[in-house]
Structure 1
């Protein structure tokens, strides 16, 4: 993206703050008034500006600029008004984009789109972004429009009289800079996505009438204190007019507080604030007369409809819509207890919202429920809600026909919806409505209206958790039902052990069970093992799996499993913040994501702000059914399949996972903080492991270095808690990739060489240990001029590890050389306050032990312990303290003091237990303690620690 120089584009900014008094201006004022009133009713105090950067500017969760046009003719992308508006939008877009803000732009008009204009229609419906050819055409058309409009302004400025050559040069350079910006494909596409269209397809008269009626209806709200509607209407319009006349743009702003202040005035004071000249100028009185005429006509039409409806409805045992009954209930497995429980809840409360993730089986459950219990209800309505509840009712012709309703298409969808509900409410008792809601962004208002129907019981099926509508979490299938479902669709033999792993991985999702079974059945030589492996390795789009299968409940259509899962688990109805947060969660474990951990990953210094932000995002995603709380709301879970579909989409993006670089870096810091106290960082290990497993090697390009460093810290910290047979192989592989990507002189390799050396077997790899420790030391020496304290500490640690390796090789000369280098480094940097000082004492202790000087050897170990206890707690390494006590135990044995040896070794093991360390070193410490108890003839403690050791090795 090119750098946007605001000075170079400022000559193209046109005055969007102009004031006019005409019908279009009246339409604009009414539109502003409706937004102002709506915000007030909803308790939203977001400011709304008039005549600032286009007609209306809204500052709330999103920054929205609205251009209003009240026209008698239709529009196309070649319309002058459209071109002019797009250019003004784009200049505003660039101004805010420079500050990393992407506004939303809205073009709102009563008019429609010209019949021959196809591209604008696709832009209106957002279809253009699903077709690469259409999108390229749209970007090309926008470049053409924006370049043409900017050139018009350039020519107009160049044609002014007495313009200097310097000014001409400035204008032309600005034009070139603007064209450079237009050449950036991402900017143009991002701008296109930011623009939204709203065409009313009605006349100017109808548009003004409709919006006035909507406003008058809103003014009946109890919040307006039963004040005279027409008076309030006039004074609010006057206030908008007054505000728009302010010289300073920042003053052309109104909020809910301003409206409340007006309402606090007496009726006399309110009347005095009305600007009669302004009201007369915009033709307000004439519009009132027209409204009265239309109201009379509406009453006449309503009376005619009422006469038609006088005949009674005599519905009994009817399906008022098509109902998807199950042909063979025996083939719908599971939920026997839940079927009875839901029936009882429905009888008692008349309403239940069955919720869970997509694919769990909510629709199947409802079909089974209705098939079994149909004779227990009178009339039934089943509707699949694709977009909105209102439209699903209004556009269901079979429902309208059965209810004998002929809707007035002049009425709004909401008004028509209410007419249908009114008819339903007239029908006799014990009826049933089932709504199968497919999307996540459904508002509760329409559902609340349905919930209030007196003679109907209601079942809502939704991914969202609608807390006010009696939510009921549908459980997953049990194991027997899951395997029966799989066998129903797959006749091939399979390993039941693999099946158990498979269903645990997909969290018993019945949709995935069915899709996988059908895919295997239709494939020539596909196996469950292969499909399961493809799921685990994020390779579900493998060519071998592109087998056509019958779509789930989709009228005999066929598709491949990967395409259907992506479609079924698509995420809609969430804002950009929620989308990014959900994508971040997709990198983490699917369950037991501790909220406290998420907040702490970003650092304790940002705890309060991040906690509030995360809780808000989690609550919003939970309401929409995309995450679920667990463990008394201390942690959350995300369905594994939803996570996978998000990862697939991220991999298809241009920058893969670059947006998560900061999170990866922060997580690395949290692991690094466990250098001295591993237990404190243990909680973050599972998140690092999940990220490293989720982002496969071929998709790491944009964040390769942060992932290498994260993997280094993960392997180091996990070595304290997991016993791995292949640790040396993991380190060697990491080193190989790091050398290839960062070069062999990268400083981070020093820690990796050191860590690899620490995992090698002393008995048969001592020379390799020395080799890698020396490589680490050479790297630290190479970078020593740029050292910070952390790097200096790592250098000292590596030198002392090398010294200990030379001790094992019985090479005291090189041991002393290493210690002399450490001493020189400490003196040079005055660096004496770290945990490695104690390690130096233990190395000297070992030298004295080898010379049979046991008293001095023991004295040095005790100095190490004393020093450990003297340094600040945050610099103490309890793991090293455990080693010191182990050394004391060994020293006591050499001095034939068994009782002291047991005391010291017990202390060593207790420290490891307090730190929850469970590695190879811990195994050796337990074994040494058990051997000591054997010698002391202490069978009770011997058995206790033997059991602990066995538990550790499991």
Structure 2
């Protein structure tokens, strides 16, 4: 047995000190029986008598029965010298066996393997101290006994166990594999033996790919292997893992709830959060959901943290994906709930707070991306916008292109939903440097919005604002300024002086005024927008970095380089905190600061910043993107200055 030395010592202490039955509790395949048998092997001579009862599971019924296991065990009858009357029912025969055990002198141990919820029974009394200690393994929580919780292996022990069966393998790939299966003991053994037996798998990375794509049943993994967990019979990893988690003792409602945990990331969830996410109504519905959670926890399908949060083990989640029929209607409320979590209100939200839900959206999309339900495309739209915030414009474009196709089929050419998706997709195309495509989509979107809402509607203003920025990208400053002046007038009418939308439009208009050389107007609008956003959102909001960067560029044009540098240094620190080192926003800020430092003759620092920006743009967009080409120009310039040219 690999690892578990600490657990063995703790188990020994609990058995010695507890007057209760000791239950090694954990999910199927985690190593409960192996730990208990190892304890017996080490401490065999500490006991005068050891009795072993295995409670096997009826795979057709999905049930096990302690009384039946004892009553029909010929070995324990023979060893106790008890001749049982076959006419006696199983309960009476089990009582005779337990009474026989109780009469034995000495320090004794009864080991019951794989017990289920029928073990605590008023019909039969287990042997008791001081003559007997009772050790039980069970995936069911038997709360009236002394529980010894057994968790997954540590990462280090997981690596040792895998390499025990498969030999030395690539460490990074193995670590990724172990993370995917959450160091589940049985799965490590089965996959390691399968990998070792395969003549075609070249590396552990291939195992990782099969797991990620839910292909445990793939023919390349169908190698006949043996495991003590399967009584050393020839098995396949897939078939044995399925048999380790039998669903037939679950109600339809319990299966429904497990489906929700199967399609979400395996993270701890509070009961209140689940109520909200599943739109569970107050009263009987919430009471039922609470009961279902407790029942699944007791049966070993869900785990509960000390903070009363429920979560599912990754391997149970993986096995359930094969055993349960996952369909959209079962999880419709869940899709709508996560879509709402991914939504963004410009007037109050911080995009950084939304990034935690991206994984949730991705998980749901994995399951339902082939569904034609409108709720799925709403999810795709919101997920795409969060990809945009994360700077992953390619992913955003792919999702929005699919969404637009669906919207056109469902709503027709001039529907407001189609216009909204066109506008969102156009913004992403602008980031990708395809300004012509962006403009074409936005002109269509503005036309639709004007027909649907009229000239003074906030939706029209928003779409016009995006179109103006597209004109700005194409250096058509006159078109851009005319549109944005209209947008600002509309925004002031719709929202008043102190609103985030007004601040955003002022900031955009200030950028255009700078391009037109009207620096006074540009600075005035930038400072108004910055002042408002600082009061409204605080220093930690990414808006502040954008506002400062744009204002800095105006100061740069005016030759106020130190003032520009000070603003850009604050902005860069903010962008790094918000997005990390490899985001396009960070690269843009590094490039702008580098350009200002060139003017300040700080060439070494400028070179470092511009080189970092260039690497980000190359990695994200390739060599032909406008941002990459612009950065390359600045990089060549600073290299020349450093070389004295």
State if a TM-score over 0.5 links the two structures.
Answer: yes
Question: Which residue matches 1:335?
Answer: 4
Work out whether residues 835 and 877 of structure 1, in 8 Å CA contact, stay in contact via their aligned partners in 2: no
Question: Which residue matches 1:883?
Answer: 546
Question: Which residue matches 1:50?
Answer: none
How far has the Cα of 1:762 moved from its partner?
Answer: 5.7
Question: Which residue matches 2:512?
Answer: 847
What secondary structure, in the 3-state scheme, does the structure 2 residue paired with 1:444 have? coil
Question: Which residue matches 2:185?
Answer: 510
Aligned equivalents of 2:247 and 2:105: distance in 1?
39
Question: Which residue matches 1:691?
Answer: 364
Aligned equivalents of 2:98 and 2:129: distance in 1?
8
Q: Which has the larger radius of gyration?
A: 1
> Cα 1:460–1:426, aligned 2, differ >3 Å: closer, same or farther?
same
How far has the Cα of 1:926 moved from its partner?
Answer: 5.9
Q: Which moved more, 1:851-860 or 1:775-784?
A: 775-784
Work out whether residues 602 and 667 of structure 1, in 8 Å CA contact, stay in contact via their aligned partners in 2: no
- Unpaired stretches in structure 1, ≥5 consecutive residues: 1-331
> Cα 1:616–1:555, aligned 2, differ >3 Å: closer, same or farther?
closer
- Unpaired stretches in structure 2, ≥5 consecutive residues: 58-63, 620-645
Question: Which residue matches 1:805?
Answer: 470
What secondary structure, in the 3-state scheme, does the structure 2 residue paired with 1:432 have? strand
Match of 1:400 among 52, 60, 77: 77
Aligned equivalents of 2:293 and 2:103: distance in 1?
41
Q: Does 1:569 align with 2:245?
A: yes
What secondary structure, in the 3-state scheme, does the structure 1 residue paired with 2:52 have? strand
How far has the Cα of 1:803 moved from its partner?
Answer: 0.1
Aligned equivalents of 2:247 and 2:290: distance in 1?
20
Aligned length: 596
Question: Which residue matches 1:664?
Answer: 335
Match of 1:709 among 373, 378, 388: 378
> Cα 1:740–1:649, aligned 2, differ >3 Å: closer, same or farther?
farther
How far has the Cα of 1:659 moved from its partner?
Answer: 0.6
Match of 2:258 among 582, 602, 612: 582
Work out whether residues 599 and 610 of structure 1, in 8 Å CA contact, stay in contact via their aligned partners in 2: no
Q: Deviations over 1:799-836 (max 9, x none)?
A: 21210121232213432553476479769x95658533
How far has the Cα of 1:556 moved from its partner?
Answer: 5.4
Work out whether residues 163 and 169 of structure 2, in 8 Å CA contact, stay in contact via their aligned partners in 1: no
Q: Which moved more, 1:332-341 or 1:760-769?
A: 760-769
How far has the Cα of 1:660 moved from its partner?
Answer: 0.1
Aligned equivalents of 1:738 and 1:781: distance in 2?
22
How far has the Cα of 1:906 moved from its partner?
Answer: 6.2
Question: Which residue matches 1:420?
Answer: 97
Question: Which residue matches 1:921?
Answer: 585
Q: Deviations over 1:126-157 (max 9, x none)?
A: xxxxxxxxxxxxxxxxxxxxxxxxxxxxxxxx
How far has the Cα of 1:665 moved from its partner?
Answer: 0.8
What secondary structure, in the 3-state scheme, does the structure 2 residue paired with 1:844 have? helix
- TM, length-normalised to structure 1: 0.55
> Cα 1:911–1:530, aligned 2, differ >3 Å: closer, same or farther?
closer
How far has the Cα of 1:478 moved from its partner?
Answer: 4.3
> Cα 1:896–1:451, aligned 2, differ >3 Å: closer, same or farther?
farther
Work out whether residues 50 and 108 of structure 2, in 8 Å CA contact, stay in contact via their aligned partners in 1: yes
Aligned equivalents of 1:908 and 1:460: distance in 2?
60
Q: Deviations over 1:158-213 (max 9, x none)?
A: xxxxxxxxxxxxxxxxxxxxxxxxxxxxxxxxxxxxxxxxxxxxxxxxxxxxxxxx
Aligned equivalents of 1:935 and 1:905: distance in 2?
14
> Cα 1:783–1:515, aligned 2, differ >3 Å: closer, same or farther?
farther
Aligned equivalents of 1:917 and 1:675: distance in 2?
22
User: What pairs with 1:158-237 in structure 2 (closer than 5 Å)?
Assistant: none
> Cα 1:814–1:594, aligned 2, differ >3 Å: closer, same or farther?
farther
Q: Deviations over 1:405-455 (max 9, x none)?
A: 34566666444433332222111121111111265x446346994374541
Aligned equivalents of 1:886 and 1:737: distance in 2?
34
Q: Deviations over 1:77-119 (max 9, x none)?
A: xxxxxxxxxxxxxxxxxxxxxxxxxxxxxxxxxxxxxxxxxxx
How far has the Cα of 1:380 moved from its partner?
Answer: 1.3
How far has the Cα of 1:780 moved from its partner?
Answer: 4.2
What secondary structure, in the 3-state scheme, does the structure 1 residue paired with 2:126 have? helix
What secondary structure, in the 3-state scheme, does the structure 1 residue paired with 2:51 have? strand
How far has the Cα of 1:541 moved from its partner?
Answer: 2.0
Q: Deviations over 1:9-45 (max 9, x none)?
A: xxxxxxxxxxxxxxxxxxxxxxxxxxxxxxxxxxxxx
How far has the Cα of 1:468 moved from its partner?
Answer: 3.4
Q: Which moved more, 1:506-515 or 1:816-825?
A: 816-825
Match of 2:303 among 618, 622, 628: 628
Match of 1:460 among 136, 153, 157: 136
Q: Does 1:379 align with 2:53?
A: no
Aligned equivalents of 2:436 and 2:540: distance in 1?
28
The structure showing larger relative contact order (alpha-carbon pairs under 8 Å, at least 6 residues apart) is 2
> Cα 1:683–1:480, aligned 2, differ >3 Å: closer, same or farther?
closer
Question: Which residue matches 1:641?
Answer: 315
C-alpha RMSD over aligned residues = 4.3
Question: Which residue matches 1:525?
Answer: 200
Q: Does 1:856 align with 2:521?
A: yes
Question: Which residue matches 1:366?
Answer: 36
Q: Does 1:818 align with 2:520?
A: no
Match of 2:556 among 879, 883, 893: 893
Aligned equivalents of 1:778 and 1:649: distance in 2?
50
Q: Does 1:430 align with 2:107?
A: yes
Aligned equivalents of 1:852 and 1:736: distance in 2?
37
Q: Deviations over 1:506-546 (max 9, x none)?
A: 12222112222333344442454333311110122223333
How far has the Cα of 1:565 moved from its partner?
Answer: 1.6
Aligned equivalents of 1:937 and 1:448: distance in 2?
89
Work out whether residues 674 and 680 of structure 1, in 8 Å CA contact, stay in contact via their aligned partners in 2: no
Q: Deviations over 1:590-615 (max 9, x none)?
A: 24546665454357x96899876665
Work out whether residues 627 and 639 of structure 1, in 8 Å CA contact, stay in contact via their aligned partners in 2: yes
What secondary structure, in the 3-state scheme, does the structure 2 residue paired with 1:383 have? strand
Q: Deviations over 1:488-507 (max 9, x none)?
A: 5446x743432222122112
> Cα 1:739–1:681, aligned 2, differ >3 Å: closer, same or farther?
closer
